[in-house]
Amino acid sequence: MPTHSQTLSFAVAALAAALGSPAAQAGQVEFGPDNGPGPSPAIAGQILPGHNLGGAKPAAAQAKPVQSAAEQAKMKAYLASRVDRAAVHVSLKTAGGRAVDCVDIHAQPAVKNNPALFGQPIQLAPRSAQPVFAAEPADNIAEPLLDKSGAQVAGCPDGTVPIPEVTAEDLSRFASLHDFFAKVPERLGTAQAPQTAVQPPYHWGPSSQHQYAHAYRYVTNWGASSNINVWAPYTELNSEFSLTQIWVVGGSGGGLQTLEVGSQKYRDLYGDYDPHLFIYSTRDGYNHTGCYNNTCGDFVQVSHSIYPGAKLAPVSTYNGTQYEIQAQWFKDMDGGAWWLQVQGQWVGYYPRNLYNTAGVVNRAAEIDFGGEIIDNRNLNLHTSTDMGSGQFPGAWFGKAAYQRLLRYNYATTANPNIVWYTNATGLTPTRSDAACYDISYYNGDPNWGSYFFFGGPGYDYYNCR
C-alpha cells in the first residue's frame, strides 16, 4: 500500500515491491504472507484461480434457462419499448461492440417511467452546497465510445445521455424479465446444503447463496464514498458474480431500501468476463423492485460519458499496477435525490419519490463497504469464484483487493449541519466464513484513512468445501 498515491488514468500506479505499508507505519500490522502464486494463464476468457491449494474443481455444463412463451413475449415488448427511438440522436459503440444510444436527456427511460418527472427540468448536479470531493484526477475509467467510423469520441452530444443497448441475447441468459432485473435470479433458488457430514481435516464452507466479506456501521447518513480497487476475479459459473461495492441502506425486511455502486464481474448479465461499473437500488428488500444499471429505467442519467454498466479497464494485476475508481452516493439534503458521483463527475440520480420514510427517502441508516459473491454450489461443493483478487487480506497491497478512503456524510443533534466526507471509523468487519473469504479493516492512516483488504479464493479441498 503506498505512502502516497499517484494516478495514471484512474490508477494507483505503483508496484508493491517499491511501496511501504501505511498500516505497518501506523504500528498496526506488517505485510502478510503471499497466499498464492498469482494469476494463471487465461482459459475460456478468464483467469484461473491458481491459488486453490487443494486442487482444481471440475466445472459444470452451463445451459441457458428455459423461457416460457409468456416470458418471451414480455421480453420482446420490453426491448421494443425501453428506448424511444425517435429520441435517439446518434448511436455509438463500445470497443467491445455494444451499442450505446445517445438519447435526449428529457426522453430517457427514467423520465418515461416516472410520472413525477414529466415536464420537470432535469437536474445536472445536486442543489445543496457541498465541498468538491477531493478525487484523484482520472480519465478513461470505462471502455471508450466510438462513432460509426470507429473514431473515439468524448461522449454523447450535448443534451443527450448514453443509454447502453439491451439485446435479445442478453435476455436469453435469464428465464424471466424479473430474473434479468433481480440482484440474483429466482431460478437459481437457494443453494443446496452439504449432504454429508465430514470430519477434520475437512471444513465445509457456508451453503448460503450470497456470501460476503464486508464492514458496516449503523449510523444516520446522507451518503458514503470509497476508492474501490478494480480486479477481474475468476467466476466459476456464468450465473455467479463477484463484486466489490458501497451499500447505503435504510429500512429492514421487505421494507429494505438500498443504494449500491461498485465493480462487478457477472458473465450472464454483461455477456463478457470483464468488470463493469454497476449500480443497484431496491425499494422492497429485493422482492419486486430494483434493477442493475438503469435497465428498468429508474435512474436519471446526466453524464454524457460515464454510465452504469460501462466496462472498467484496465484492471489490477497481481504484484503489478493497481487500478481503482472513486465512487460515492450523495443525498441532496432531506428533500433531494440520491446522487451518484464517479471519478468526481456527477453521473445521475435516483429520484426521491422512489423511496419512503421507512427507508431512504430523506437519509439512510447504515453504511456498508465490501465484497459479495454468489455461490450456486456446482457439484454440491462450494464455488471457486474469487472475491476481490482471489487472495486473502494477508497478501496485502498489490496482491489482495482493497477499498480505501472510506467516508460518509453525517449530522448530529448537536451539529445539525451535515459534515461531509468523514472518515468511516467504527465499522464492524464481518464475513460469511473466513476460510473462504475474509476481511481486515484498519483506521487512521494519513494517506488511506479508513480502509480494508478483503477477498479469498472460495473453494479449497480441505478448508472450504
Is the confidence at residue 234, as pLDDT, over 90? yes
Percentage of the chain surpassing pLDDT 70?
79
How many distinct helices (H) and strands (E) make up the chain? 6, 24
What's phi and psi for 80, nearest 5 deg?
-70, -30
Of 143, 236, 324, 372, the catalytic one is 372
Confidence class of residue 133 from pLDDT cuts 50, 70 and 90? low
Q: Residue 191: its pLDDT value, please?
A: 43
Q: For the residues of 77-89, what is the DSSP string, one character each?
A: HHHHHSS-GGGEE
pLDDT of 195 higher than 50: no
Cell 459479495 belongs to which residue? 372
Q: Please write the tens of the pLDDT for every residue from 401-454.
A: 999 999 999 876 666 677 878 899 999 999 999 999 999 999 999 999 999 999
Of the residues 71, 143, 236, 260, only one is catalytic, namely 260
Q: Is 186 a catalytic residue?
A: no
**pLDDT (0 to 100) of residue 37:** 28
pLDDT at 56 over 70: no
**Average pLDDT for 44-62:** 50
pLDDT of residue 156: 96
Dist CA 14 CA 126 (whole Å): 34
More confident position, 204 or 191? 204
For 136-178, write each residue's pLDDT tens digit.
544 446 788 999 999 999 999 999 999 999 999 999 999 999 9
Render pLDDT for 83-131 as a digit per residue (tens, 0 to 9): 999 999 999 999 989 999 999 999 999 998 888 888 788 999 998 866 6
Kindly tell me if the per-residue pLDDT of 237 is higher than 50: yes
Question: Which tens digit of pLDDT belongs to each residue from 2-32?
Answer: 433 333 333 443 323 333 444 333 322 222 2
Give the tens place of pLDDT for each residue, 209-231.
Answer: 899 999 999 999 999 999 999 99
Q: pLDDT: is 66 or 261 the higher one?
A: 261
Q: DSSP secondary structure string, 95-114?
A: TTS-EEEEEEGGGSHHHHH-
Q: What share of the chain is helix, strand, coil (3-state, %, to 5)?
A: 15, 30, 55
Which pLDDT value is given to residue 352?
A: 94
pLDDT tens, 241-274? 999 999 999 999 999 999 999 999 999 999 999 9
The per-residue pLDDT for 46 is 54
3-state secondary structure of 384: coil
CB 242 within 8 A of CB 233: yes
Mark whether 260 is an active-site residue.
yes
Model-level pTM? 0.86
The arithmetic mean of pLDDT across residues 290-316, rounded, is 95
